[in-house]
Every structure is written in structure tokens, then in C-alpha cells.
Homo-oligomer: A and B are copies of this chain.
């Protein structure tokens, strides 16, 4: 009786189509969903009514992305019901810390295509539950929390104690992981014997998870289209799969196979014995001769003769094999999708990008132009579900923001206010692997200067980063200590003005233009559901010398009613005209049937936490490239010690951005002869 909407009313179209960018989410095919307008709502008064409004099941945040609140099995169901096709990606934990940094970048890039989830394998030999940056646990944690990807953590159970396993599961839960792939794992040693009360089979792990964690985790189990190599028979293996499902598994991902008939027969056989949960085919695009051989050996599969016949002659030509592998995968996937039995495809990526991306693009299920649910990439930790406001300062360092707020119990929702604790965790280790620059030291030196000759050399680095033109030594500056990525499209629009001011020592690290109501589907500025309008106040954040700041403050008097400013140095001396330390909303969106979303704010209190980080990056990322006591290092140290960090907001968003005029006025004042 608490439902106020007729059960027959489907999810209205206004929240139907958006899918996240840089996060696991809906696929590009969403717009095909049937609009609600075709439903039977016109027969006045047919709906269920309610007299009482005491108990409401409303969530406290406007749901911009319905899937953000769903568990993986619900997302899968939603896609199946709507006919949207999807894909997922499997990765294994890397061996070295450097490889981990690269894998995380790969997660970010591949997230852009819109996988429904990724999964991370479990390697018992590699201390998979530890806190090492290469462990399965930490890689999965990073995918969920820092890359915003729905993630399945694999877990094997043989040769492990119940306590070990419970410990791993508790840790996974604590880190925000919500999905487990329950596997037996390979017995260690030849003479493995079943333990009486131990975990001898994946089904034991499934039962254990359900008994200890109730319905908290979504559980995935493995299916073997050709039967498990150790199974008595194909039929026995099918029965065992059904046992795993009955024990509580939510869906099945299959072992790789080489012919679509293999999977389709398997699927029909599963259905015949009453397995009704989703069964997702595991796709292995052949990427090289050796990787194929190794995988086949491990999985005890046989490569069909027709494939061998093609591959053997070209076994030394990697490119040819990969092209063939892509062709083969595309045609097999097409057969699977065309069967009508398959909605999602699971890819064994081998931690590589090119082949899988190519297959997905050719299948048309790579999300070419993903909609963003919010202007920033959301984290997938369940406790961050309601988060929809962040300070703008970390716009280019979202992983640092997530890291520094990981201990928060509540996340700002609707309003920054004081509902969120402004107690940011300290960032002591600037070399955390998910914050680490993708470029090695030598490359950074080439970009930022082997030897600095003065503050002007620093101005030049900033200018080259903005213009994209090579520096004196012919190297392009593609990253900065405050931004590990090339300039955002949005920022590129301000290029000309940014170049001008950086040349003169206004060292910009963050900015956005003002926007007075663009459609929420705008390719550059848009975010959130379609049918809405997005707005921005112009924002400019930069470092500048105290001479510039002194002149700027004089100029700002003229703009007192229009421009809000926060100016702070490394010692924390702080000058602001923000009323009562209130946050200023600088990005907001108005959507059909929803409350207003204001996802980025300039928050005076958070700015002081950001200031510590922003100043420290001069030293940690830049000064430390040089020898101690070297002139280059001293120049950066000087800037760190003496410059101010400034942020400016032009509140008059419907008018032309006045911040460039503010800067021009400042330089004019600096250049004018001193008054008497």
C-alpha cells in the first residue's frame, strides 16, 4: 500500500538512458529502451492508491543513475529485460608495482567503454588477500573505489582454512567489494585429498559465503561448456553446476571455448536441468601463439583443428594472429548474440587492451559516447552510493579525493553543508600507486626541464602544458604535478586566455568556463539524465607570486559583489570574502522530475586541506626530481614557500566571464607607475 505509482508503470524514460562514463554502467544501447509513454497509464484511476504517507521508500538522493543503487545481479536483470547488450572484462593481478600503475590506467581507459563489471583473478601463490599493491584484494579495491568499476573478486578455497576465507571475505566487504567469484582453485601438489570438513569444492565456498554473509555478496560460479577436466562426465559436471546454483550462486561465467555451438549446447543443457540464472559466455580473443598455448594447457582444452590450421603457419607473426583472433571472436560473439540466448559477453583480456576493445567496437557494444551521471567519476563503494557533491579542487585528482575521504561514514548528498565531515585524511604518501604518475622520472625531467633557470622556466612549463606545443627542448608537456592527464576538452576551450595568463606567471591548475543552461546531453559540458539543463560558474585556480596577489587584491575590491576569492599561502595565511565560510555551488543541473543536483562546490574549509596537497605537489612531484641544493630544486622550493594559491569564482554566470578581466586589470595595475 505504500507504492504510490501503479506497479504497471515502468521506469519513466527520463531516468532511462544515461549511462556512466568511466564507470561500469549501462551500455550504449540504452536508448532502445521502450519509453514509458507507451504504457497503459491513460485509463484514469486504475492505479493503486494510498492514504498514508508515513512510510516512504524514497531514497534520499535524486537517483541520477538508477543502476548506481542496484546490485550486480539486478543490473544484469535490468539489461536482460530491456534487451540491452553488455560486456565485462577479466584481469589478473600484476606482478610488479609499476605494472599495477599501468593496470589502473588501463582500468580507467577501458572503463570508458562501459563494462557492466570487471573481475580480478585470485592467485593463491601471490598473497592475494594481502595489502600489497599487487594483490588481488588491492587491485579489486582500487577498481571499485578509485576507478568506480563494479568488480567481482575471485576467491579460491582449496587448501585454505575457514578462518582464512572468512577473513578474506570480511576484508573484501570492508573495502566495498560486493561480488565474489567462488572457485575451488587448483590443489597444491599431486596427491591432493579431500578434507572431511574442509573446502573441497567451489560449492563449499558458496555455502560458506551464504551462511556467513547472508545475501551481502552477489556470487558468481564457473561453468565448463566442455565439462570440468576433472569431472567424471559432462553430465556429472552439469549436476555439480546446478548444486552450486542451488547453494546460492547468482550467475555463471563460463570457461573459454572456441565455437559458439559449444556454449549454446551447454546453455540449453543447463536450462534442461533447471538452471535458470544468467550464464555468461567467456570470450577469449586469441592474441598470440604463446598465450594461447599456455591457456589451453592450463584449462586442458583442445584447440579445434580449423583454428590450429590457421595459426600454425603464422605463429611468429603476432599482428596476424591478433587480427585473426579478433575476427574469430567477433564472428563467434555475433553468433552468440544472434541466438537470442546471450545478453552479455565476458572477455578474458589477459590484461591487454587492444584486441578486446577492437572486438567490442566491432560488435557495437563499446560505449563510444558515454553519458556522465555526474561531472566527476563516481566511486562504486556502496557507502558512497549517495555521494553527489564534491569540492572542485580535486577535479583532476579524484583518486586523491577518494583516498582522503575513505574513512568518512557519510558523504555529501544534495548539499555540502556541514553534513559531511570536512576532516580529510592526510595525504602523506604522494607515491601511492593509484596516484603515481604514469610517466617515469626521465620523462618528467624532459617535460618539466632538466635544469630550471628561474621562475620564468616554470611559467614556460605551465604554458607548454596549456598550449600542447613542445618546450625548448622539443618535448611536449603532457602532464603536470596537479594533473596526470592531458588538458580536458572543457579546459581546451579556455586555451587562449590560459596561455596568456600562464606566460605572465598566473600558474593555472584548475578552471572551468561559465555555462548558462546547456542541455544535459551537451557532449562537452553535459552530465546527468537527458532532458535537463546544466550550469556552471566560471572558476579559475592558480599559483601566483605575492606581487601579483597584492595587485590582485586591490583589483578584487572592484569586483567585491561579483567575484568570490580564496587566497592562501603554504603557511595557511588565508584571505577570503566567502560569507560565513559557506560553500559556493559552481556546477549544477536541473532535471525533469528531480531535485537540483549541485555536484561541485568551492568549499572554503576543504580548500585548506587541498592547499596542503597542492603545495606539497611542488616538492613531492617536481622539486625532488632535482638534486638537493641544486638551483632547479631551489627555484621550485622558492615558489612553494612564497607563492599563493588563489581561487576565483565569477558568480554572475549569465554574463560574460569577468575573471580574465580581473587578471588583465591586475597586470595593468602591476605595470602602471606607482602612485604617490
Chain A residues in the interface with B (C-beta under 8 A): 4-6, 9, 11-15, 35-37, 41-54, 56-63, 66, 413-419, 421-424, 516-517, 531, 533, 535, 546, 549-550, 553-554, 556-558, 560-562, 564, 567-569, 571-585, 588, 590-596, 598, 601, 604-606, 608-609, 612, 644, 649, 651-654
Contact = CB atoms under 8 A, between A and B. Distances in A.
A60 B415 contact: yes
Given A41-B553, A46-B575, 13 more contacts: A6-B575, A9-B577, A37-B560, A46-B573, A48-B574, A53-B608, A56-B422, A57-B581, A414-B417, A415-B595, A531-B562, A579-B594, A595-B598
B573 A47 contact: yes
Contact of A654 (B15, B414, B418, B533): B533
Contact of A54 (B61, B422, B517): B422
Nearest to A423: B54
Contact of A36 (B51, B560, B588): B560
A182 to B, nearest CB: 33
Contacts of A575: 6, 41, 44-47
A414 B417 CA distance: 9
Nearest to A529: B579
A37 B598 CA distance: 28
A4 B595 CA distance: 31
A532 to B, nearest CB: 8
A175 to B, nearest CB: 25
A579 B593 contact: yes
Q: Which 7 A-B pairs have the closest CB atoms?
A: A49-B572, A414-B415, A37-B560, A592-B651, A60-B417, A45-B573, A42-B553
Nearest to A567: B44
Number of copies: 2
Contacts of A6: 574-575
A596 B592 contact: no
Nearest to A516: B517
A79 to B, nearest CB: 19
A604 B654 contact: no
Contacts of A596: 585, 588, 596, 598
A413 B60 CA distance: 12
Contact of A604 (B4, B535, B583): B4
Contacts of A574: 4-6, 47-50
Contacts of A62: 415, 582
Contacts of A517: 516-517, 654
A226 to B, nearest CB: 44
A45 B422 contact: no
Contacts of A52: 608
A140 B323 CA distance: 84
Contacts of A594: 579, 582-585
29 contacts: A5-B574, A5-B576, A5-B581, A6-B574, A9-B576, A9-B577, A15-B579, A37-B560, A41-B577, A42-B550, A44-B546, A45-B573, A46-B573, A49-B568, A49-B574, A51-B612, A56-B418, A56-B605, A62-B582, A63-B580, A66-B580, A415-B595, A417-B595, A533-B653, A584-B595, A585-B590, A588-B596, A595-B601, A596-B596
